[in-house]
Structure 1
């Protein structure tokens, strides 16, 4: 009798130990990836925040959100809340990087015009970049300050500009880097080239602004389409909680929620493809 009870107990203990080791390994891998990638993103955005503290806050938020969702709405809500909490920091970092890149691109034409004016006034390229870094607003001044700091320690300008392109991720910098590299190697009127490039970028920004204005209605419709089912679900849950709770407690309710979520995701993707126009 003892042997028959001891064998399942040993198997259960071994399975629990293996599961705990697997969970610890996954958490450790996620922690390393979080600290490395989120920390790099914070540094590139000049945000002086400790990524380890953010990891602890994100972990606590995930546990709290998952526990509340499990207690109030069931396993499906638990999985949804956990995934949303885990993906939140990555989406926020991506959003901050995209916002910073947009600000940089909008500041670049004025900075190039100022650099062209400095070159016509008799300054060399490095002096013009110093004036750009000191007089232009952030984030452009911050990025070019890094380029100048690398130049002072002996790094070639071409390599610093290539790193600038990779950090910011703006394709507009390819034209500027090409113009500067060609001018340094074969000569030419760099001031006129930069001025023409600045005018082109201004026209591009103007066209993109028109496109954003024309597609704003489509974006608003996308938000309405995405939030309306959630709003209707909350209203129905407030009116008939017993029937609506079946969506979170029965297997067929989970299937319905999965199908609805998949259809909403496809609709959001299609709307995004329609309103996203590359200039």
Structure 2
């Protein structure tokens, strides 16, 4: 065999060996990924050796729901932020996240003021106003936009999972399981976020809470009407009696029809919602990015006396536009 042919054979064998090894590695990764997706976070933590009390504590980092009954604009804003923190699945208490955003905004504001003073700009009301707006945009506005986006995706996944979970729950009841055992099926069969949420419900029941109260707490955390209707159905059946499986079957049909209508509305309003997202986030990203790249672009004009009322007017117009857009895309189905 000539050296050329031998070299060619060796190269072909090397290629086949590398190809087979790559296929084996990809198959192992996909298999491991599918096994990981088959269980939820709560079950993975329990499988890792954690006790139920510790698991429940880690999953309930954003509790208690302190601002749920807040009155006024500030109270409602705090309640919305905390509900977004819970829905986003961030493993930090909501008050710590809000404190971190407040400290971050203050830190950015102080850094901007010190930097402007070092660069030789006069520290007047306009520059302080500019520093405050930049600090709030970087430390508060951008994190809230990201947090809201993550929470919205998890809520959407929760809505997609709930009809399937309801069918599993109904099958469990018809096969003779009590309500608590049927809920336990959901913790083993459903992925996150629904699987871990029902796991928290079972943990609360194990520690002495009533099933309806635990489910009501879950409904309050997520603010989804489908879960609220499920809790109301359980409460009504518990007080008046009747076939719970039949009641929940009818509820499942209603939820699926609402989901179908909701998806149609989302499809029709997708352009408006994306426009709202861009118009909400773009001013924050623009002022933050442009200031970081070229601070003098704003600091030069901040020395002008007309900057203070003009910039304040822009901020007011931004918030007017923000709330107007939110009202326009807040579609109820």
> TM-score scaled to structure 2, two decimals?
0.58
Alignment deviations for residues 194-247 of structure 1 (CA, whole Å, 9 cap, x no partner): 122122212222222222222222234445656489869x99xx99x78x7553
Q: Give the equivalent residue in structure 2 for 1:119.
A: 173
Please state how far the C-alpha of 1:109 moved relative to its aligned partner: 0.9
Aligned partner of 1:133 among 183, 187, 191: 187
Matched, 1:273 2:327: yes
The within-5 A match list for 1:95-110 is 96-110=150-164
Whether the aligned pair in 1 keeps the contact of 2:219 and 2:227 (CA below 8 Å) is: yes
- The CA distance in 2 between the partners of 1:41 and 1:57, in whole Å, is 16
Please state how far the C-alpha of 1:91 moved relative to its aligned partner: 6.2
The within-5 A match list for 1:45-60 is 47-49=90-92, 58=101
- The CA distance in 1 between the partners of 2:99 and 2:242, in whole Å, is 55
Kindly indicate whether structure 1 or structure 2 has the higher relative contact order, using CA contacts under 8 Å at least 6 residues apart: 2
With 128-137 and 102-111 compared, the bigger mean Cα shift is at: 102-111
Q: Give the equivalent residue in structure 1 for 2:267.
A: 213
- The CA distance in 1 between the partners of 2:234 and 2:89, in whole Å, is 26
The total of aligned residue pairs comes to 239
Q: Give the equivalent residue in structure 1 for 2:108.
A: 65
Distance 1:108 1:48, change over 3 A: same
Q: Give the equivalent residue in structure 1 for 2:136.
A: 83
Whether the aligned pair in 2 keeps the contact of 1:247 and 1:257 (CA below 8 Å) is: no
Partner SS state of residue 251, structure 1:
coil
- The CA distance in 1 between the partners of 2:173 and 2:216, in whole Å, is 22
> TM-score scaled to structure 1, two decimals?
0.68
With 97-106 and 258-267 compared, the bigger mean Cα shift is at: 97-106
| Long gaps (5+) in structure 2 | 1-77, 122-126
Please state how far the C-alpha of 1:80 moved relative to its aligned partner: 0.4
* RMSD of Structure 2 on Structure 1 (CA): 3.9
